[in-house]
Chains A and B, each alone.
Chain A
Amino acid sequence: MLVDLAGGWNPMLGRLAWSQIPYDNPILAPLFVAVVIGAVLVLGLITYYGKWTYLWKEWLTTVDHKKLGVMYILIGLVMLFRGFIDGLMIRTQQAWAVGPHSSGVFGATHGYLTPFHFGQVYSAHGVIMILLAATPLLVGFMNIIVPIQIGARDMAYPYLNALGLWFTAAAGALIMISLFVGDFAHNGWFGYAPIFELQYSPGVGVDYWIWTMELLALGTTLGGINILATIIKMRAPGMTWGRLPIFVWASLASNVIALTSFPALQVALALVAADRYLGAHFFTAGLGGNLMLYTNLFWIWGHPEVYFVILPAFGMMSEIFPTFSEKPLFGYMTMVLASMAIAGVSWLVWLHHFFTMGAGPYVNSAFSVATMLVGIPTGVKVFNWAFTMYRGRLTFNAAMLWAIGALFLLLVGGLTGMMLAVPAINYMVHNSVFVVAHFHSMLLTIVYAIFASVIYWFPKVFGFKLNEFWAKTMFWLFSAGTALVFVPMYMLGFMGMTRRLDYVFNTAWHPYLLVMEFGIVVYTLSVLAFFALLYVSVRDHASNQVGADAWGTSRSLEWLTHSPVPFYNFAVLPHVNARDEVAWRRDNGIDHVQPDHYEDIHMPNNTGVAIVLGGLTFVLGFALVWRIWWLCAFSLLAIIALVIYRSFKGDPGYIITAAELEQMEKAAMRREARIGKQQHRVGSGVLGEAIAYARSDLPSLASQPGSTGGLDHRS
């Protein structure tokens, strides 16, 4: 041992001991029982219905980008729920533990959470919401939509894609298990130096935090590489940069940020790990450490990260507004420029997270101005959305309502962000609940955009629409909750209430905290409405079937192929003629043109390696947290061996023959005909110069980007 560990260590189990299981905790113990019962029930049901083979073949080993995306979104929704429960616990504690006369239970002097537990709850809330809810939800959507929007059959690296998913899942499992084995970090989602050092956080909580974040960073970086490669290399013939759907541009900008910023986080956390495991002194106060270095390193990732999550949300809004305004996006080029500008400037502003750390006025001024520069492209985007609606024909269905909600929240978040960017204001509200309200406005913008997208793209993936009534009910409940929680929170910020109080010393704040608690109750209703939405929609799915163009006013390429999207996406890769290809085809009356013949296509095989690697990284993370060195060595060696094995084996892929393809296409077209969309079979060359599908007799197409027909990867 290079460091002194409180509480003992043994070679077999590391720091693991019975005392680390909180079986006497009045909240966790019942929860644990419930989780076990639930798990047994689910596993039992799968066995009862004999679904294991289906699950393994169709989902757990899949490399299909749509299924991986759906699983990303499922993980995101589950973690969103867990994070919501954390939020509910935080609000309840703060509504209860107010003033010296408030009661206390479960060992707390006030409220029901001791400082030790309260710190863990909000730290888990932050990590989960940003990295395990928002990020997987957005990555999931990028996974599903980007390849279809650019007319590709899959991601550039399908196996890597699966790997990214299973790393994310492993990280989710690690943070969930910290509930029942040991504890979680109390140092907030971003960590403070030196409180996360062993002297001040002797337990395993910080270690859970480190390895969870490392795994997520790894998964997201791999995902970023994949999406970038896909966008750059896999575009269909005719899909020039100028015709790229705006969501793809947003994904591109976003993943440039991911690829370049996540390594900074990995380094920062690795150095924290060096302090805690090897007795190094990178971020300690004494012995030559520099704790301000941590803060810098973290936010050098942390700020770009917040733009990494908002840019795809902007992209989603830019897809939804035009569809339901029935006209093209206003200022396409400006939108692209603005996305790129945001990505670029997001690198230059990290210091605004710690204006109060005592940098000189020149440094603070520079970062203040840089931060406000971000407001310019962000403002432009809002104006462009407004002018997309201008002279449009607006339908206020559920997807549109959520997108408009996102727009208004963005206005609030932008206004408060511009306030925080001025040091002279920041000094007063930094570390106060005002900041919490600011970034919740922003993150809720993302959540709104995500729910808009769930409704918008659900029919594309599953072939039927979600129920409008429940989607709208959920929207209004959720919005009422948002107003009730965050309006008082902004007000409390102006009253000087600081963040992360597990005991609220000022009783004047109590009424506002109670209103917020009520808001959380309303939020809870919206969660129930979401469950109702899923239930009702699935129950009525037979009557909500849709064809390829689910909304009738859709614009981009994903609406060209069948709904639900076949696993090969496009039987024949489409030829792209315009920016809003589907709208263009509709306007020119060729939206029902089908390819005149099919060719064999090459698809990647499923692989079980990815999920096994995910499992092993989970074991590795767990072993590192508890310092079970033999298990670390074992799992690490197994990972390395498996990676080497897979890279030698490779994947030859398999062929879908033209005949099989034709069969499947016919079935899909029959389905579409049944639900009322007439399909005509017309040849692929149409309208003079324009082409609907690439033809072998047009050699010039080979020079188009990504026109290589089938998939060509040997990953």
Chain B
Amino acid sequence: MQVKWRNNLKNGCRHAALAPILLLSGCAGTPFWIFDPKGLMADTNLFYLLVDVGIMGGIVGLTALLVIWFMWRYQKGKNRGKYDPTWSHSNTIEVVVWGIPIIAVGFLSYFAVTGTFEINPYNPTVITNHLKPVSDPVEVDVIATDWQWLFVYPQYHMAVANDLVLPAHTPVFFRLTSSAVTTTFFIPQLVGMIDVMPGMRTKNALESNHVGEYQGIASDYAGAGTSWMTFKTKIVKSADFREWVRKVQQSPTSMTYASFNDYADPYINVHHKVAYFSSVPDGLFDHVVDEVMKGKTWPIPPMMTENMVAYMQKQNAEHRD
């Protein structure tokens, strides 16, 4: 019941809000990723955005109109309104001007708190409250390096670099860490941001019912390669997912602790290179967290991208491309 009015509100607001935007962008689908969510988490975010903008936008808009009206009415020499050179206090107005923001903030606070729980990255109730026993969740361990993403699928003992493939209609649970510096994991149409930090583990989750390809971004500055540290997220049908898993598992390369060590060296992924690893050691994720906590780092040479062209030549020459 509660969900229903929400959905009505959501869809109503969304259409109203999107109408001008859609007009702007033609029929080719909106470039406004935030207004075009394709997963439960992003959907919930949009709902709260619309509530907040609805309430605050109303107040701010009316205030703006009020100011404009006063500007028009009390302009000197126009004699539209009465001039009262001493008027500077009114209890009624004081009550109203404190009352409106207090009520608005009270109202918004309720939504802020419920929203925080609904999409709490560690236990997003929009997903966990509806877990169907039939659909086994997929787990993905995300390891950010300088400057690539490694997605480990512990259930399938395999890993993929810079490409995330997930089944539709299935909850996905992430554990995230970084081998080098802090950055943020973000797929605008599917799930909001969560920081990935070296020596630490954060979590997130998503669920999508929309087959398609969505952009993933490293949204916190992590050094020279940040702008190219992107990845595609593909939501596919379950059957296609099984097929894809088989394909990755047949890849000739595999990852060991030693090869992870090389893999994690600074590398700018200019050509969006994707790599499949048919096997990874169990516990690679915990291993990386442990190593980093013990002080392991993958340092960056001084001024490494002072000349990007030269750096790319060097990176190519080292056959890391």
Contact = CB atoms under 8 A, between A and B. Distances in A.
B70 A386 contact: yes
Nearest to A289: B199
A305 interface: no
Contacts of A431: 184, 186, 193, 219-220
A365 B184 contact: no
A372 B105 contact: yes
Interface in B254-313: 270, 292-297, 299-310, 312
A107 B194 CA distance: 33
B211 interface: no
Nearest to B34: A494
Interface stretch (A355-363, A563-571, A619-627): A355-363
A107 B119 CA distance: 43
A430 to B, nearest CB: 5
Interface in B173-201: 180-182, 184, 186, 188-189, 192-195, 197-200
Given A109-B312, A291-B197, A358-B121, A331 B89 contact: yes
A327 B84 contact: yes
Contacts of A364: 116, 120
A13 interface: no
B181 A428 contact: no
Contacts of A373: 105
A567 to B, nearest CB: 34
Interface string A412-456: 101100110111111111111000000000000000000000000
Interface string B50-69: 00110011011001101100
A389 B220 CA distance: 44
B302 A358 contact: no
A116 interface: yes
Contacts of B151: none
A389 B81 CA distance: 11
Given A195-B223, A361-B117, A505-B230, A203 B112 contact: no
Contact of B115 (A109, A372, A392, A423): A423
A404 interface: yes
Interface stretch (A182-190, A253-261, A537-545): A182-190
Nearest to A292: B197
Interface stretch (B1-9, B92-100, B164-172, B242-250): B92-100
Contacts of A500: 221, 226
B306 to A, nearest CB: 5
A595 B199 CA distance: 72
B292 A286 contact: yes
Contacts of A115: 223-227, 305, 308
A497 to B, nearest CB: 9
B76 A418 contact: no
Interface in A377-416: 379-380, 382-396, 404, 407-408, 411-412, 414-415
A503 interface: yes
A47 interface: no
Contacts of A201: 300
Interface residues of A, number: 107
B145 to A, nearest CB: 12
A494 B35 contact: yes
B75 A384 contact: no
A495 B33 contact: yes
A7 B301 CA distance: 10
Contacts of A657: none
**Secondary structure of the B contact surface, majority rule:** mixed
B100 A286 contact: no
Interface in A67-108: 104, 107-108
Interface stretch (B41-49, B134-142, B153-161, B233-241): B41-49
A389 B74 contact: yes
A327 B86 CA distance: 6
B34 A495 contact: yes
Contact of B308 (A107, A192, A498): A107
B45 A424 contact: yes
A199 B112 contact: no
Nearest to A390: B70
Nearest to B179: A285
Nearest to A363: B116
A422 B59 contact: no
B222 interface: yes
Interface of A: 6-7, 104, 107-109, 114-117, 119, 183, 186-188, 192-195, 199-203, 284-287, 291-292, 325-332, 334, 354, 356-358, 360-361, 364-365, 368-369, 372-373, 375-376, 379-380, 382-396, 404, 407-408, 411-412, 414-415, 418-419, 421-432, 491, 493-496, 498-506, 508-509
Given A391-B87, A427-B193, 13 more contacts: A187-B221, A365-B117, A369-B113, A376-B101, A387-B97, A391-B82, A393-B85, A404-B71, A411-B64, A415-B56, A427-B192, A495-B34, A499-B219
